[in-house]
Amino acid sequence: MPRTHRYARVGQRCYGLCDWHAKGRTNAIGALIGKALLTVGLFTANITANIFTAWVKQDLLPQLPENAVIVMDNATFHKRLDTQESLRKAGHTLLFLPPYFAELNPIEQKWAHIKAIRKPLSCSIDDLFKIESFYVT
């Protein structure tokens, strides 16, 4: 996490040895069942419709229970028709949250929880997602 403040003597500029800019950002795509993660995909690229569609087909669909109801927010990459069609052809129902209601989106709360766990552990994202208590057993 980037540091936003540092200490220096009054009237002097603060210099540091570390570059705390957020480089090599890792983006996560995940699916919840109840309060536990069903699956997570970690990507070192910005999430695009192509990446999301590949994740749905290769990671999410094989792990979903039959006739699942999938609730997604209104991210543009969720709206791609071939992604929606893949989910529907597999027998799942697709619903979208109303716009601008992050508090109705439990995955956002889960990401905040995971970030809060990661901070005191100072572990890598890969190590963090090896913690089995995040996942459905």
Using DSSP's 3-state secondary structure scheme, residue 78 falls into helix
Q: Which fold has domain 27-134?
A: Nucleotidyltransferase; domain 5 (3.30.420)
One pLDDT digit (tens) per residue for the chain, 137 residues? 445 566 778 888 776 665 545 567 788 999 999 888 899 999 998 899 999 999 999 999 999 999 999 999 888 999 999 999 999 999 999 999 888 777 778 888 888 888 888 888 877 888 887 776 767 65
pTM for this entry: 0.75
Q: Where are the domains of the chain?
A: 27-134
d(CA 49, CA 75): 10
